[in-house]
Chain A
Amino acid sequence: MAEALLTLEGVHTHIGQYHILQGVDLTVPRGGLTVLLGRNGAGKTTTLRTIMGLWKPSRGRVTFAGRDIAGLSTPDIARAGIAYVPEAMGIFSDLTVAENMTLAARRGPPDKARLDWIFAFFPALRRFWSQPAGVLSGGQKQMLAIARAVVEPRALILVDEPTKGIAPAIIDNMIGAFAELKREGTTILLVEQNFRFAAALGDTVAVMDDGRVVHRDRMAALAADEAAQTRLLGLTLDAHQ
């Protein structure tokens, strides 16, 4: 297995009085796509937000590229090379598509070749480049959210349920985009409920329950093991095709 780019060791996160993460141990290998599965309320989104520093861990260690980032601020974590696509997408509706992309490109104006690559997967973004992002459809907003995360190369991309409520044709384009990102060496940690999408892209999988990672495996192995799917997730992947 490839070396770990991101490691969580015994991470606990409290939100107010609620103890959400209860000792998460997770390893994300460099250059692969790790899928985080689990029932609703298992702690998947909280895990991503904790990695991103949006919620501070009350205990435990988060190591990214050999550096403990648990105590860093969110901007510092982003600058360390982690991009985040939240479940709600976090699009700035009042800004145009171009302005959204400009903000995401911290080093300067977005690179033209990179934009062409993005437009190849998400052509709507070129068409609506000068339009306020608020007028985009849900699928197009998701394209923009992902495009914003990849407008500059990042070492790790955290993506929270990108296919939620999205048309199948757009999901196919997302699969192509994520596959291309993997080929260029980007590491991706993906929270996903769409098993077809997860199985198509995932290299490794971690299953969460009650604020802990309860199972780790290769995605292909879990996809082939209906008994494990039923035990861990309550359903088989085939039931979600």
Chain B
Amino acid sequence: MAATSPATTSADSLPEARRDLAPLLVAPVLMVAALPLVGSLPTWVTLTVAGLAMGMMIFVIASGLTLVFGLMDVLNFGHGAFIAVGAYLAMTMLVPLAGWVQADSLWLNLAALALAVAAAGIGTGVLGFAFERVIVMPVYGEHLKQILVTMGGLIVAEQAIHAVWGGDQKAMPLPQALRGAVVFGDVAVEKFRLLAVAVGLLVFAGMQLVLNRTKIGLLIRAGVENGEMVEALGYRIRRLFVGVFVAGSALAGLGGTLWALYRETLTAAIGGEVMVLVFIVIIIGGLGSVGGCFLGALVVALAANYVGYLAPKIALVSNILIMAAILMWRPQGLYLVARR
């Protein structure tokens, strides 16, 4: 093709791209501000690690939901069903592996957990596929109906759990090697919390890798912003919808497993109970933003732990206060992605 040489325009000047770093500072500022208030360094470290672990678990649960909202414009109030079903599937998987769970070998413990997580992820992924096809697909674009039918889906799932596993509270004991704490000087950090932090970081890194380094990731990011244009470029976004919904459901299953292990008990309501936190996190993060969701989860969890220690009476409202403060600063969340 012959290249011609049109006149260069003078309209090329524009500001250099600046990375929006302010949201990255919220969690560190919160941590530093909490140190003098807590007063004791060991206590502060314990609270901080507990907050980070809790934040990572909430992130794992919420990351799929924020993508589902951003990409599919679907308000899925039934996300809690995947958390609960994932936890129950993992518990069921751990029963025949009781020998591995109670063994003194870290590797056997981790192998048992890996199998439990795989069962939870695969089971909730399949459930997510059915949920999207049967419950969500008929109500695309209709928010009120989405809220009603997905809430209905959550209720059905909880009742199904009662029917299959019974209505009583179940125990979800930690594997032997993950019980107790690691002691660094005066600081004691629970082993499972370290594992939760590691898993959360792995999930975050994996999601960043997929979203930023693969064409599928590009399509997801583009679809969150303008699904119609993605279709006009020739891509079948409905298939992407299903894939993201399944992946989000599987992540909820993984998160539900971690959450149940963290509490060491579970009931059918475990998903519904954590959903308030999950919604707060995705609103704080900015609907559709995985990075925002990660930061939002850390901030909410850290604040919950610090406030729970410093002023237990206001612990229940601390998350709402944090959300209000962040939305006053950035009304559309820490990172704006989905523009609807």
Contact = CB atoms under 8 A, between A and B. Distances in A.
Interface stretch (B120-128, B185-193, B215-223, B256-264): B215-223
Contacts of B228: 54, 74, 90
Contact of A54 (B1, B2, B232, B235): B232
B236 interface: yes
Nearest to B234: A78
B168 interface: no
B285 to A, nearest CB: 14
A197 to B, nearest CB: 15
Interface in A108-154: 113-114, 116-117, 120-121, 123-124, 127-128, 131-132, 135-137, 139-140, 148
A75 B11 contact: no
Nearest to A104: B233
Contact of A78 (B5, B14, B233): B233
Interface size class, chain B: 35 or more
A170 B17 contact: no
A167 B218 contact: no
Interface string B165-192: 0000000000000000000000000000
Contacts of A127: 12
Given A117-B1, A120-B5, A135-B15, A92 B225 contact: yes
Contacts, number: 110
Interface in A36-62: 52, 54
A3 interface: no
Interface in B6-35: 6-12, 14-17
Given A120-B6, A135-B17, A169-B11, A95 B233 contact: no
A27 interface: no
A207 B16 CA distance: 43
Main secondary structure of the interface of A (DSSP, over half): helix
B233 A170 contact: no
Interface stretch (A8-16, A172-180, A226-234): A172-180
Interface of A: 52, 54, 73-75, 78-79, 84, 86, 90, 92-95, 99, 102-104, 106, 113-114, 116-117, 120-121, 123-124, 127-128, 131-132, 135-137, 139-140, 148, 167, 169-170, 172-173, 176-177, 180, 184
28 contacts: A74-B228, A75-B235, A86-B229, A90-B226, A90-B229, A92-B221, A95-B225, A99-B222, A102-B218, A103-B215, A103-B218, A103-B222, A114-B1, A116-B3, A117-B1, A121-B6, A123-B12, A124-B12, A128-B14, A135-B16, A137-B11, A137-B14, A139-B9, A139-B11, A148-B233, A170-B9, A173-B7, A180-B2
Given A73-B231, A124-B9, 9 more contacts: A54-B232, A74-B228, A75-B236, A78-B232, A117-B1, A124-B11, A131-B16, A137-B11, A140-B12
Interface of B: 1-12, 14-17, 215, 218-219, 221-222, 224-226, 228-237, 337
